[in-house]
Chain A
Amino acid sequence: MKKTIFGIALIFFIAFMILAAAGMRPFGEPAFSEMDDYYIDNAQSETGANNVVTTIVFDYRGFDTLGEATVLFTAVLGVTALFREVSK
């Protein structure tokens, strides 16, 4: 019973995903790119770094990276907390 309901939900979900895929803009032709053009045009003059992706990761969206490093730290804490009795 439960499996059938989940199965129907799964079929709906996949149909949904294919609908989304069909409705997307053509691959390789972004419609708007104002934000990214800003990065490509100004990253070198503003930060002096050649790698635009790194400037986004550590400068323009540096706060995300702080969060990302925090996620890793959290996971380490979680793993060590889970195994705190096992490893001793």
Chain B
Amino acid sequence: MIGNFPYLAVALLIGLGIYTLIYKRNLIKIAIGITLIENGVNLFLITLGYRKGAIAPIFTQAPEGLKMVLPTPQALTLTSIVIGVATTALILSVAMIIFKKYGTLDTDEVRRLKE
């Protein structure tokens, strides 16, 4: 069970992210919550590729005779990190525009669109 500690860390990060989304009212904090979930998912992906005692999958002057970790999760995580940066940039820009128009970041005061 203790060997599975990285997975528990993933669960914790994603849970904290969801908590932030539900209970925080500041738009910037919501953006932080999304970033937390994203980091949790990235951690999960990178965890999947680990092999005990293995080295990074790069042949340039690598030490002899060792196994290599799985390379695919690293590629996937790279993709997901860049997508995450794009998402964060856009979400912060939208929050800035909302602040410019309404003068506040509180979700309760921002609600002009009624049910």
Q: Contact check, B4 vs A82: say whether CB atoms are below 8 A apart.
A: no
Q: What residues of A have a CB within 8 angstroms of the CB of B3 in the complex?
A: 26-28
Tell me the complex Cα distance, A26–B4, Å.
Answer: 6
For window 1-35 of chain B, which residues contact chain A by CB distance below 8 Å? 1, 3-8, 10-11, 14-15, 18-19, 22-23
Nearest residue in A to B97 (C-beta to C-beta)? A82
Q: With an 8 A cutoff between CB atoms, is A88 at the interface?
A: no
Chain B 64-87 near chain A by CB (<8 Å), digits 1 or 0: 000010111011001100110111
Q: What residues of B have a CB within 8 angstroms of the CB of A74 in the complex?
A: 86
Q: Contact check, A7 vs B22: say whether CB atoms are below 8 A apart.
A: yes
Q: What residues of B have a CB within 8 angstroms of the CB of A35 in the complex?
A: 72
Q: With an 8 A cutoff between CB atoms, is A1 at the interface?
A: no
Q: Closest approach, in angstroms, between the C-beta of B90 and any C-beta of chain A? A: 5
Q: What residues of A have a CB within 8 angstroms of the CB of B19 in the complex?
A: 10
Decide yes or no: A71 and B78 within 8 Å by CB, A29-B51, A52-B68 being known contacts.
no
Q: Closest approach, in angstroms, between the C-beta of B51 and any C-beta of chain A? A: 6
Additional 5 contacts, C-beta under 8 A, given A14-B18, A18-B8, A27-B50: A6-B22, A10-B22, A20-B7, A28-B50, A71-B82
Residues of A within 8 A of B (CB): 3, 6-7, 10, 13-14, 17-18, 20-22, 24, 26-30, 33, 35-36, 39-40, 43-44, 50-53, 56-57, 61, 64-65, 67-68, 71-72, 74-75, 78-79, 82-83, 86
